Structures are given as C-alpha cells and as structure tokens.
Chains A and B, each alone.
Chain A
C-alpha cells in the first residue's frame, strides 16, 4: 500500500469514527442550547440505542430495518422520560444540580443495563453483509460508509428542520429566549421535551451505527460521552456546526495518531487535543466568548 492510499484509508476511518462523535455531540449541543444543561448521560443515550437495537434484532429477531425504527422509537420515548424525570424537576435551579442529576441518570442507566444484559459485550450485525469495497488500494468498510452516509443525512435533515419548518423556528426561539418565546405563545416546556426526544434519538442512532464496530457494552457509554464532550469543546460550546466539525476533527486526529504514533495511546491524542483547545482557544473553533452581563 503506498503512502497516499494509506493516508486516505486513515482519513476515511477517522471521518467515520468522527461522525459518531459528531452525532452524539450534536445531541449534546442541542440540549445545551435549549436548556443550558450539559447532559452527562448523552453517551448513555448511544449505549441505550445500541441495546434497544440488540433487543429488537438479536433477541426478538425482528427484521433489521424494522429493528432500527423500533429502537429509535424506544429512544424517543426514553427522551420524554429523561426530560420529565431528570431535567424537568430541576429546571429552575442552577446548572450544578441538573448536571449532577444527569450523572445520576448515567449511573442508573449503565447499571440497569448491566443487571439486565450482563457484562459480556455483545456483537451487532452490520447493515450490509458485504465487508466493503476497495477503490485504488483504499478499503472502504461498508459500515463506515453507512455511518458517513447516515450522518450526512441526519445533518441535512436537521438543517431542514431548524431552518425551514415552523417547528424548527419555535425550537430556535425557545433556545434563544425562553421567556420571550413563551410570551409569543410557544409552549416552551413542550419544545424542551422535543429537544430531549430528538437528542435521545440522535444518540441512539449513533449507538446503533457504532454497535457493529465497537461491540455493544455498557462501557461504550463513558467512552462515547467523553469524546462527545471533547468534540463540543473543540468545536465551540453550544455551537451546532462546531459539534460536527469538532467530532470529525477529533476522529481524524485519533485515527492519524493511532496510525503513526501508537495504538494504545489513541485516546490520549484526543485528550491532548482537548487540553490544547481548553488552554489556547477555550471558546472552540466556532464559539464566541460571551462575557457575563452585569
């Protein structure tokens, strides 16, 4: 394999893994924008999605695409439960109690799943049975292609939703000024619930997509959450474009770090990138520094 195709190969897998980070951090950012809450259970949404998929497909033996659909529905319902159980009772308090409450939710979810499914990581089938295709010495894994395609579609869908529908406008209004939105007749509590539903589904989708690569385990929640946080900080706190770019960048940096320096220290490159951003440009790539109003 020559140098160029090797690099393209590494870039390709970096972008695919980065897409997963982007999907999870997109959900994270949407919640930050509407509720000002950093959801520490966002990685658990992905884990839960993967387990929902596992239940539908491997346990109940439903057809693959029906399983995906049902798993996403389950995640949507879970999003409502999360909104009313974890966020809603604490909505009028400072960010700290809510943050801790989401941490509690993360512990609860991981250990409930652990009690139900056991600690053994479970395999999940890929979308296509074909391993992938090879173009000019570059092997394109079929699941990675699916991930890239679905992420692109999800981003396009979200753009359409937020910029070209009334619901999207209401969601944006709610995230920008809750009181004003309420005054013009938007049911903000419901908009926030929709945000949680949508975020849970995005997270679940990421889990379903990454399941065949990582193996499905409760441990995946923590790993994914951490990457999503990093992507969010790198891209710009609370910035939608930033979440996507940050996720992709993180995936690519990890991929090249693993290829050229050391595989076991792959995660350390992510941290390094995170620390560099925190120290040099804490507002991230797209974020603006907003001074507190006196």
Chain B
C-alpha cells in the first residue's frame, strides 16, 4: 500500500513488534492446519465441522468490528449471513450466475442492508439498536419463509454448486476448506491491523464514549455506518462460502437463534480481538460435540454459560489470555524519546472576534436554561464564563459545541455561522473541549486517547500515523504525562485524567478551547499546576480559551475578561476587577443585601 520502501520495512517491524514470541509457533500451526487433511485422512464429518467453523468465523469477525471495536449492538448478523448465502444459492441455482458473481452480489446486498441499519443510528442508539436489529432479523426470517416464489420458502435451496478457481472446480472438500481458510485468515489479519489505524481508533473512541468522540472530531455517524457496513459485508462473505460449502440452505439456518449463537461466539472468545472471535467460534461449534452426553439440556447449559461468561469473563477467553500474558510479560518501559515541543500558535492576524453569539436561547420545555445571551470572545484572550450553580453555563457550552441545537440565536466562529454544524464539524474548525465530568476513552491508553484528538480533520500536521503519534506525544509532554503514554486512562488518578483530557483537546491544535470547570475536584497542588498550565497556554500566540470555572482566584489570575450569567441571562461583563465588584454579581453569588438584613 505504501509507495516507499521505508514504510513497508517499518510495517514489517511493527508486525514483528506486535507478535509476542510464544504466539509465533501457534500462528505457524494455524497456517499449517488447513493442509493437514491432504496428508492425514479426516472423515467428511470432521471436514464439515471445519467448514462450518471457518464460514461462521467470518460472520463472527464481522460482529467483532461492530460490537467489539465500535460497541454497537447487532442482533441481525444471521440475517446478513443469510443474505450472502441466499445470493449464492439463488444466484447459482436459479439465476445461472457463477459463484464469484453471486458472491459479489451477496456482499453488495448485505453491505447495503448493513449500511441502512447503521444509518438508523442517526436518531436511535444503544438499546434501540438491539430492537431495530431484532426487527430486521425477524423481517428477514418472515420474508424468506413466506415469499415462496422468490426464496422457495421453508423448503430451501438444494444443489448449490462449488465454485471454480482458475478453471478448476473445488469439488474436493479439502480444497474448498483451504479456500475458506485463506479467506478467514485474510480477514483475521485485516481486523488485527484495523484497531491501530485512524478508522480503528475512531471506532474504539465511539465505543468508549460516543459524545466525547463526536466533540473530539470523530464523525461518529459515519464511523458507525462504516462499522455496520463492514460487519454485514463480512457476514455476507461468510454466508456465501457457507452456502457453496454445504450445497443446501433454508431459512432456519439464518434465524434469530443463529444471531444469538454468533453473538455468543464473539463474546465467549472476546469480541475485541479477531483471535478471540475465532476461538469463540471454534469452541462453540465443537462444544455440542463434546457435550453430546448433555443432549437434552445442551441448549439450556449454553444459555447458562452466556450468563456466566458475562459475569466472570467480560472480555472473553482472549481477554483472560491477554491479562495472563500481561502478568508474566515484563512491562515495557517507554524508552525516553525526544518529542518536539507542542506547537500551539495560531497563525492569524484577523482582528474579528473568534466567537460571536447572538441572542442565544436554549429552552427545555418550560425551562429557559439559556435565555437570550449575546457574547463576543476576542482572539487570543482567556475569557471566563461564571455564574451560580444552575445558571446555564454548561448548557451554554454544550450549545456552543453543537451538542444541543439552540432554540434560537446564532453562533459564529471566525465570522462563519456554525449554528447548524455538528460537533465534529466544529472540531474540524479548530474547536477543542474538555468536560466538567471528565469524558475520556477509559479502556484506551493515554496515547491513544490523545491520538484521537490529534486526528481531527484539518489538523495542521503531516499526514500519516507517525505524525499523529508525534503530535500526541508532544501534547502529553506538554501536560507532563509523557511517561504515562502507555497507561490505560482508567488506571490513571483523577488529576492525571483531567490533564489527559486537556492534552487530547490540545493535540487537535485548537483555535478555540472550551474548558468546563478544569479545576473541579483538583487539590491545591494540582490547582497550582493547572494555573501554570493555563498561563503557558495563554502564552501561545492566537489561542483563545473560553472557560467555565467556580474558583475565583484561578479566574482572577488567568482571565482577561469575564462574562457572568444567572438564570440564563447575562448580568455583567468586563475585566475581572470590574466584574467582581459589580453589585448584581455580588447579589447573585452572596444573595441580596435586603435578604441579609431580613
């Protein structure tokens, strides 16, 4: 893929560095496995089981993408699998297509349906997605069973031929199995690569905290649509090979129970890794063979094991293996790397205010959280927004960020009307943000968290992963956490998490940085460090900071200008000295003098 040799060498080095030594023999054994039937005679029953495992595994790998990487529920994977299978079944038997043409048709059809399901996440997320996908699954079942003229109904399709490759028909089960293995291994390899790409990091960010991902600049809808499309495409591939492998398909191969089976396979093995998904598939296909003695209650035991997996192995078998490996492997200390100073200057001399807000209103039913606020923030200043609890500060920030669409009013960033833009589009225009109740991507390392920030659109850095990494390391260095780059942020102390969040925003090279109560929950020492950090940010040429804070001392020492709001309305504005003496401000914070007298 990369045009120059240097990159491919580093890709090879990266490949080697990512495989722990003890795994190498296992991988080699897996590569040899598909050739075993050629030298050692296996029963056709055993070959069938392998064929089932390899085709199911491709669909389960699809689930790894959508559920494991992106965190989106999908209970219709069997339907996508079925679309691929029916395309090959009907294509080869009824429409006279070759296997390969039918495969393409099937993958296009299943991807298209996956894309549509992904698009429904515009309005509906989380639990709704479980319902939508179940409804899709049931619809597929329903249509295939009842639209007999098209699908041949419950009788199914028999006599599906094997594909031919270079004029040679793969009628021999061993040869066909080899082809399935090649496909499977290629998919595993691609999915193993995916998490460390830009797209993969976006997916993980969506899984870990969708709102924070969106605000950091991830086009979350697009990522989810891609995940669903990819997942459905893989299911389609698996289904196509399944149909040609077994020569017969009927709707009950692709019902809701099969979707649950795919889901269980992914969870049992560990949905966040392609290896886990593979292990889970093989285990769950072999399990009934081993548990033959349970016969009657096998499925009940299987249901019970789903609960037990969720309770005792939330990360699946692969998660357990990784945890065990981390305990025995020596922790890799990050070698002291030289990282360049974080560039934060904004090259512009445009005198117009960077942020202009006109008559902003945000009403929730009868509650007027923001009620007609006008605001101008000059470029290169530190502008504080203060007000008593519940005065509408965070709501204002959420509207400026694009998380809420305002009831009325306009927002201009650098004279461009951004009122209608989504949060990720604002991030692409150089808006960064931290949250009052820290929103990081807990299961990702500090470095990965900050890299998501660095990969926002239009970030003025070089293309490529190396530049992203360098930018992220510089940002971590700026907040003093370079040595924690490899630590999962959920294991960091509170104060450090605040700093990682600031580094994530800074890595995107923001023009306008929103900080929502950055000092909340920090102790005195940490607050002191924060003030130093804010002063260093202030020194960056052209960077504008707009912050909400309760700590007046902190505000007095860093803010150039203060806006005070109460009950959603602006009550004062000016320099710290002016504002903190303003009678209405004193009244808002300390109560009316009349009250005190009474």
Known contacts being A100-B263, A222-B256, A264-B146, is A107 close to B306, with CB within 8 Å?
yes
How many angstroms from the CA of A100 to the CA of B311 in the assembled complex? 10
- Given contacts A86-B307, A275-B135, A294-B394, are A111 and B300 in contact (CB under 8 A)? yes
**Chain B binder among A18-26, A88-96, A151-159, A250-258:** A88-96
Give the size of the chain B interface in residues (CB under 8 angstroms).
49
In the complex, are the beta carbons of B307 and A101 less than 8 A apart? yes
Known contacts A275-B135, A291-B403; is-contact A104 B300 (Cβ 8 Å): no
Q: What distance in Å separates the Cβ of A118 from its nearest Cβ neighbour in chain B?
A: 10
A62 within 8 A of B: no
Q: Are A278 and B128 in contact (CB under 8 A)?
A: yes
**Most B Cβ at <10 Å: residue of A104, A237, A279:** A104
| A 239-294 contacts with B by CB, 8 A | 264-265, 267-268, 271, 274-275, 278-279, 282, 291-292, 294
Nearest residue, chain A, Cβ from B124: A282
CB distance from A143 to the nearest CB of B (A): 27
Closest Cβ–Cβ distance, residue A174 to chain B (whole Å): 20
* Of listed A96, A105, A226, residue having the most chain B CB within 10 A: A96
Contact indicator B404/A291 (Cβ below 8 Å): yes
What string of 1s and 0s marks CB contacts (under 8 Å) between A31-73 and chain B? 0000000101000000000000000000000000000000000
User: How many inter-chain contacts with C-beta < 8 Å in the A-B complex?
Assistant: 117
Q: Is the CB of B71 within 8 A of A233?
A: no
Please give, as numbers and ranges, the residues of chain A lying within 8 Å of B403 by CB-CB distance: 291-292, 294
**Are A226 and B138 touching (Cβ within 8 A)?**
yes
If A264-B146, A294-B398 touch, whether A104 touches B306 (CB-CB below 8 Å) is: yes
Specify the chain B residue showing the minimal Cβ separation from A105: B307
How many Å from the CB of B66 to the closest CB on chain A?
A: 12
Is A75's beta carbon under 8 Å from chain B? no
Instruction: Flag if A97 contacts B314 (CB, 8 Å).
Output: yes
Q: Known: A233-B131, A294-B435. Is A105-B310 also a contact (CB below 8 A)?
A: no
Q: How far is the CA of A264 from the CA of B145 in the complex (A)?
A: 11
**Contact of A104 with B256 in the complex, beta carbons under 8 Å:** no
Across the interface, which residues of B come within 8 angstroms of A268, CB to CB?
Answer: 139, 142
Number of A interface residues, CB 8 Å?
A: 45
Considering the complex, give the chain B residue whose CB is closest to the CB of A99: B130
Residue interface bits B434-447, CB-to-A below 8 A is 1, else 0: 01100100000000
Q: Does A206 contact B (CB under 8 A)?
A: no
| Residue B524, interface by CB 8 Å | no
Residues of B within 8 A of A226 (CB): 134, 138
Q: Is A196 an interface residue (CB 8 A)?
A: no
In the assembly, what is the distance between CA of A40 and CA of B138, in Å? 15
Which B residues contact A (CB, under 8 angstroms)?
A: 71, 73, 120, 123-124, 126-128, 130-132, 134-135, 138-139, 142, 146, 211, 215, 256, 260, 263-264, 267, 296-300, 302-307, 309-311, 314, 394, 397-398, 401, 403-404, 435-436, 439, 516
Q: A98-B310, A222-B256, A268-B139 are in contact. List 12 more A-B contacts (CB 8 A).
A: A85-B307, A96-B73, A99-B127, A103-B263, A106-B303, A108-B300, A108-B307, A111-B303, A274-B131, A274-B135, A282-B128, A294-B215
User: Can you identify 30 A-B contacts, CB atoms within 8 angstroms?
Assistant: A38-B131, A89-B311, A93-B314, A95-B126, A100-B263, A100-B310, A101-B311, A103-B260, A104-B303, A104-B306, A104-B307, A107-B302, A108-B300, A112-B297, A114-B299, A114-B300, A115-B296, A229-B131, A230-B135, A233-B131, A265-B146, A278-B124, A278-B128, A278-B135, A291-B404, A292-B211, A292-B403, A294-B398, A294-B435, A294-B439
